[in-house]
Amino acid sequence: MTVPDLDIAAAHAQAAIAAGTADAYDFAIVALAFSAKGNFAEADALFGRALALEPGNPSTLTSLAIHYRNQSRFRDAVLACDEAIGNYPDYPDAWLERGAILASGGSNEGARASFHKAAELAPQHPAAYAGLAALAAREGRHEDARRFADIALNLDPQNAVAINALASTHLAEGCPDAARDLLEPLVARLNVASLERSLAYSTLAGAHDKQSDYAAAFANYVSANADFVAIHEGSGSEQLDNTSFVDAIAEGLAATPVETWPTPTAAQPANAAERHIFLIGYPRSGTTLVENILASLPGVSALEERPTLAMTDQTFIAGNRDDIIHGINRFAGLDNDALHAHRQGYWDKVVAAGVPSAVACFVDMDPLKGTRLPFIARLFPDARILVMRRDPRDVVWSCFRTNFAMSSGTLEYTNLMRAARHYDALMRLTELALERLPLQYHIVQYHKIVQDFDGESAAMCAFAGLEWNESARSFDVTAKRRGVTTASTGQVHRGLYDGTKQWQPYAKFLEPVLPILQPWIEKFGYTEL
């Protein structure tokens, strides 16, 4: 349902509520309209009334799942769909929404299965085929993307998801003119902010980039990000923005006398990996590339961007700035029994995510987990830390131009100044942690990996205690087998290539943020590169 259609339906439903004649559908549709506008508390109450009237109603539960997805509460959203499907296994809308949720959360295999089931139950429903096309386009399966997009567009020639998928495929195949022919009418037709229009602007920007029309590309990236902000800005209104969150952790660490921290024992739970590696840095710095290099080696299991420290996060860094600063100080005073409980919570989360218990080597890849270095230092004193670095201009520019799924940090990348400030905050925190905490770390520079793959990857493996072999060169095959779900999917699938200096055509647009980035450009050695 489009936003105007939802607003019209909600107006009729509100009239029914006011007249005292409302049914469960009326409460659910008004709740969905509130949710779409970011009024989540009001939506919660209305969904409660809808379910009280008709417990287990699959339409209401599917709408509730959309409400949860609007808040990036993917687990709750999937559970709502599963409840609807449990009550009515042949209800196609629940399968369709389940696919959309899993795709948003990066669970591509589950999303694909759900979309296929929706298409089986409702073969004339274009959205299921459009969802399959979007997944295929994201994964670089061009033939499948075209096939499913064609089916969807035969059923609904204006389906925006299918048009975006087909345009992305044209662009990936080196046909920017064909992509523009699809996208320009689409953005003209979509007259309100939506994820579909945001993606269309972003892909259109990519087409202009391929044609070296950098001013037009930049303008479309700005429009894409403006839509993303319009959709999501209110979803975290009661929380700190991510830059303030990072700064609060840095303040907490700076205020904590780490030299007096009790020395932790190295005892780990029975399900812990024998060898433990954290891979951090910043989004778009090369962490997905390095993760898949390591995952190509025998005995190595890897997990990408999962909240593995959720138990510790909820205990110590939830809340406002003062809560976080105080939480870091409280964590510093934990005794070994308390530390062991948090280690157990971590490894239980890892195993629940599908990593074998007591695996030989586990790589926890999360570019923003530099914020958790105070936890890592005490919980896992034997862990090795790989710190990815890339030219800060390439990093910030790439974050600005990339379509991320909504997460705690995503809004920080929607504006170049905002992205630069966030980058600066995380680099300051990371440097402070590396300086003050007893961490075993190794710097991995993106440009060196792509220019001297064997030498740099061998050095990285030697630090991590892994034996390098030629299977590391097959990281692209590994990525396809594992199903990479980060924004780097397309790049890592095509093998090794030099992605340095992509910022240069947009240098004039980066000029306002250079005063923030220049210290890091110099510190990390990118002045002359």
Residue-level length of the chain:
529
Of the two residues 93 and 498, the one the predictor is more confident about is 93
Q: Beta strands of 136-288 (E only): which ranges?
A: 275-280
pLDDT digits (tens, 9 = 90+) for 437-465: 999 999 999 999 989 989 999 999 999 99
Of the two residues 94 and 8, the one the predictor is more confident about is 94
Q: What percent of the chain has pLDDT over 90?
A: 75
Average pLDDT across the chain, whole number: 91
pLDDT at 488 over 50: no
pLDDT digits (tens, 9 = 90+) for 394-412: 999 999 999 887 777 889 9
Under CATH, what is the fold of the domain 242-523?
Rossmann fold (3.40.50)
Q: Considering the entire predicted model, what is its pTM?
A: 0.88
Q: What is the DSSP string of 385-431?
A: EEEEE--HHHHHHHHHHS-PPP-TTGGGGSSHHHHHHHHHHHHHHHH
Mean pLDDT over 87-105 rounds to: 92
- What pLDDT is recorded for position 140? 87
Examine domains 3-234 and 242-523 and report if their fold is the same.
Answer: no
* Per-residue confidence band for 139, with pLDDT thresholds at 50, 70 and 90: confident
Torsion of CA 471, 477, 479, 482, to 10 degrees: -90
- What pLDDT is recorded for position 264? 65
Structural domain 3-234, CATH architecture: Alpha Horseshoe (1.25)
pLDDT at 35 over 80: yes
Mean pLDDT over 97-115 rounds to: 89
pLDDT at 493 over 50: no
Which of 59-63, 164-168, 263-267 has the least mean pLDDT? 263-267
| Rounded Cα gap, residues 407 and 410, in angstroms | 5
pLDDT at 489 over 60: no
Task: State the DSSP H helix or E strand holding residue 365, giving kind and residue range, or none if neither.
Answer: strand 361-365
- What pLDDT is recorded for position 197? 95
Torsion of CA 14, 238, 345, 371, to 10 degrees: 140
Q: What percent of the chain has pLDDT over 70?
A: 93
Residue-range domain boundaries for the chain: 3-234, 242-523
Mean pLDDT over 39-50 rounds to: 91
